[in-house]
């Protein structure tokens, strides 16, 4: 039988701290709040038609699921601070400024792990099409990125080390 290999999980220090904070909030605050809500709903009686009970149980399942996700994400995590590699090279944890060549629009984002990716906040996963295409490239390089919406050409304008 082939042995399964677990893919390494990379996070920035900021992402790691954020997940730890979320985990603490879920375990110490949210769990207690939902347990209180469940107890109050049980006190109302008949659980078969008790929407407060059903809502609280659904929230409890979500909280427990998220706790499990976070614990899995931080288990065996490798924290990368973005200082490895040449200073003008796109690496994990660094902030990148690019220009979309067809529209001349400029974008800045940070290359992070999937667990902390949030494109709306300027954080893209190193596993995304853009992240994969840019990793290892240097300032001044033009990069063609294949995305679900089609091919996009970017020029790397700047790379900044984030700690």
pTM to 2 decimals? Answer: 0.73
In a domain, 90, yes or no: no
In a domain, 69, yes or no: yes
* CB within 8 Å of 83: residues ≥ 6 apart: 93, 161, 163
- Which CATH number is 30's domain given? 1.10.287.180
Query: What is the C-alpha separation between 56 and 2, in angstroms, rounded?
Result: 42
In a domain, 145, yes or no: yes
- Residues 55-95 have pLDDT tens digits of 888 999 999 999 999 998 888 888 887 776 678 899 999 99
Indicate whether 99 and 145 sit together in one domain.
yes
Indicate whether 136 and 107 sit together in one domain.
yes
Burial 42-55 (b: 16+ CB within 10 A, else e): eeeeeeeeeeebee
- Residues 98-155 have pLDDT tens digits of 999 999 999 999 999 988 899 999 999 999 999 999 999 999 999 999 888 889 999 9
In a domain, 45, yes or no: yes
- The total domain count for the chain is 2
pLDDT mean over 19-40? 93
Domain around 108: 95-160
Helix axes 51-74, 31-43, angle to 10 degrees: 160
């Amino acid at each position: 039988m082939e042995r399964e290999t677990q893919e390494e999980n990379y996070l920035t220090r900021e992402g790691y701290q954020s997940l730890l904070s979320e985990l603490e909030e879920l375990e110490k605050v949210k769990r207690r709040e939902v347990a209180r809500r469940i107890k109050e709903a049980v006190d109302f009686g008949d659980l078969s038609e008790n929407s407060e009970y059903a809502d609280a149980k659904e929230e409890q399942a979500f909280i427990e699921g998220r706790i499990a996700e976070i614990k899995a994400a931080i288990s065996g995590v490798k924290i990368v601070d973005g200082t490895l590699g040449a200073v003008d090279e796109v690496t994990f944890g660094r902030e990148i400024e690019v220009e979309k060549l067809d529209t001349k629009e400029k974008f800045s984002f940070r290359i992070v792990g999937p667990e902390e990716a949030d494109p709306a906040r300027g954080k893209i996963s190193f596993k995304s099409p853009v992240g994969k295409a840019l990793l290892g490239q240097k300032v001044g390089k033009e990069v063609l990125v294949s995305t679900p919406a089609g091919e996009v050409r970017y020029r790397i304008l700047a790379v900044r080390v984030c700690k």
